[in-house]
A and B are shown apart, each in its own frame.
Chain A
Amino acid sequence: MKLSRLEYARPASVAEAIELLQGTEGAKIIAGGQSLMPVLAFRLAAPPLLVDIGRLEDLRGTEITPVGTRLGARVRWCEIERDAALRRAQPLLAAMTDHVAHYQVRNRGTVGGSLAHADPAAEMPGVAVACDAIMHVAGPAGIRDVKSEDFFEGPLQTVLAEDELLVGLTLPPWPPGRRWAFEEFALRRGDFALAGVAVHYGRDAEGRAHGVRVGAIGAGETPLRLHAVEAELEGRKIGEALISSAAKLAAASVDPMNDLHADAEYRRALVATLFERVMLRAEHRQEEGENGPAVHP
């Protein structure tokens, strides 16, 4: 299982990386390589040139400001795991990315790599969609911003042009007191989820939900926002009957794929099950505290 013959370049800047992409048709970006290397090993892709952005300092780091949280494309899962301030600022990001892959992969795998790879069952694309993130895309004409829902076009397909690369994303600020939860079901720890559901919403003084966001992974050709479910919940008090009817709506509004691990019918039912579970958890969130899962130093 050896890679096809390829050339390798390590540009010193984003601009140089884009020039390299422009110079060789079919060239691909590599950073952590945790999604790309298996593809190359199976020879499902044979790019003539790999452009390694793995040492570009501008793509590192996170920035938490009142207007949102900016993550560089090279932020790794292990960094999110260790960053207590980030975990407080973006609890859903923290909770969802805790499910990504395994220890060794988490030490190299990057936020940008996962987004650009665009597996519909991956957590990070799900975070982006569920949180209305803005993706920052660098190309020959400079940086353009793309809304997360517009970024993903299909399984392993994004709007990124051949000569563009993702340099980072910005998550909107997370208002205090927000109710949220994420659950996914995978056959084993670290596997791609058969399905996953994230919710977050605010609650007004009367206990009514507002600003409801419902996201699903592994439930369609891209990570999904379940707008119909959001509309169903918006402005209403969350109770058992509403959760139950919204769960049915959630199942009806996804379009999962069949594969050898699970068929569409199972995945659809799983979305309903997980939706019920995250709603119950979100409702009971306050007793759990706001910090989400533990930080590993």
Chain B
Amino acid sequence: MALQFTLNGKTVEFSGEARTTLADCLRHHLGQTGTHVGCEHGVCGACTVIVDGEAVRSCLMLAVQAEGSHVTTVEGLSEGEDLSPLQAAFRKHHALQCGFCTPGILTTAHALLTHEPDADEERIRHVLSGNICRCTGYLPIIEAILDARAAYADGRRGKPA
């Protein structure tokens, strides 16, 4: 099975078994290991990527289902060595420890704030309830996302000022 999709702005090709999940395709076929796999049954959210603008669990999608789509992973959130405003807010608030769940939380928050730049704390908590973090207790994550909202206001879509 061979197909193409757009990954972080570049066209990529996948050729492999139909049973390959999008998560495994990204990690093991395309070498983009920033997307993590924490449960493979759609609960933990570590594998969250953005497909055609919406945050989805890449373990609950076959790679072939992404054919022709635009996929954004954590590697696509910032340019070069610099942190995006969202990533910088995570560092400022110490919103990560082991960092394993972090890519999925960043992609989720990025999608959320892109659609809803004024999401309030309750909304952020509800959305984040689909991502398990075992280290931080979530408080600093919520604070970081609240802090990062400014970078999404006025259609800035999380770009540095």
Contact = CB atoms under 8 A, between A and B. Distances in A.
Contacts of A37: 21, 41-42, 59-61
Interface string A17-43: 000000000000010011001100110
Interface stretch (B7-15, B91-99, B108-116, B152-160): B108-116
Interface of B is mostly: mixed
A6 B127 contact: no
A54 B64 CA distance: 11
Contact of A41 (B40, B45, B130): B40
Contacts of B59: 37, 41
B129 A105 contact: no
Contacts of A105: 42, 57, 60, 130
B73 interface: no
B30 interface: no
A103 interface: yes
Interface string B43-74: 00100100000111101111011000000000
A102 B19 contact: no
Contact of B42 (A2, A4, A34): A34
B18 A107 contact: no
Nearest to B64: A8
Contacts of B64: 8, 10, 52
A65 interface: no
Interface in A226-264: none
A136 to B, nearest CB: 24
Contacts of B60: 33-34, 37-38, 105, 108
A190 interface: yes
A52 B115 CA distance: 28
B126 A108 contact: no
A41 B41 contact: yes
B1 interface: yes
A101 B127 CA distance: 10
B17 A107 contact: no
B15 to A, nearest CB: 14
A3 B19 CA distance: 6
A190 B61 contact: no
B51 to A, nearest CB: 8
Nearest to B37: A1
Interface in A59-118: 78, 101-105, 107-108
A7 B129 contact: no
Given A38-B41, A38-B60, A103 B108 contact: yes
Contact of A54 (B24, B65, B129): B65
B19 A108 contact: no
A267 B57 CA distance: 31
A103 B113 CA distance: 13
A37 B1 CA distance: 19
Contacts of A188: 129
B134 interface: no
B19 A101 contact: no
Nearest to A188: B129
Nearest to A7: B18
A104 B128 CA distance: 9
Contact of A103 (B19, B21, B41, B127): B127
B65 A52 contact: yes
Contacts of B42: 34, 37-38, 105
9 contacts: A1-B41, A37-B41, A38-B42, A103-B130, A104-B57, A105-B60, A107-B56, A108-B57, A108-B60
Given A105-B57, A189-B129, 18 more contacts: A8-B62, A34-B57, A37-B61, A38-B60, A41-B40, A41-B59, A50-B18, A102-B45, A103-B55, A103-B112, A103-B129, A104-B56, A105-B60, A105-B130, A108-B54, A108-B61, A296-B116, A297-B116
Which 6 A-B pairs have CB atoms at the shortest separation, nearest pair first? A102-B130, A8-B18, A38-B41, A3-B19, A37-B60, A1-B40
Interface of B: 1, 17-19, 21, 24, 40-42, 45, 48, 54-57, 59-62, 64-65, 108, 112, 115-116, 123, 126-130
Interface of A: 1-8, 10, 30, 33-34, 37-38, 41-42, 50, 52, 54, 78, 101-105, 107-108, 188-190, 296-297
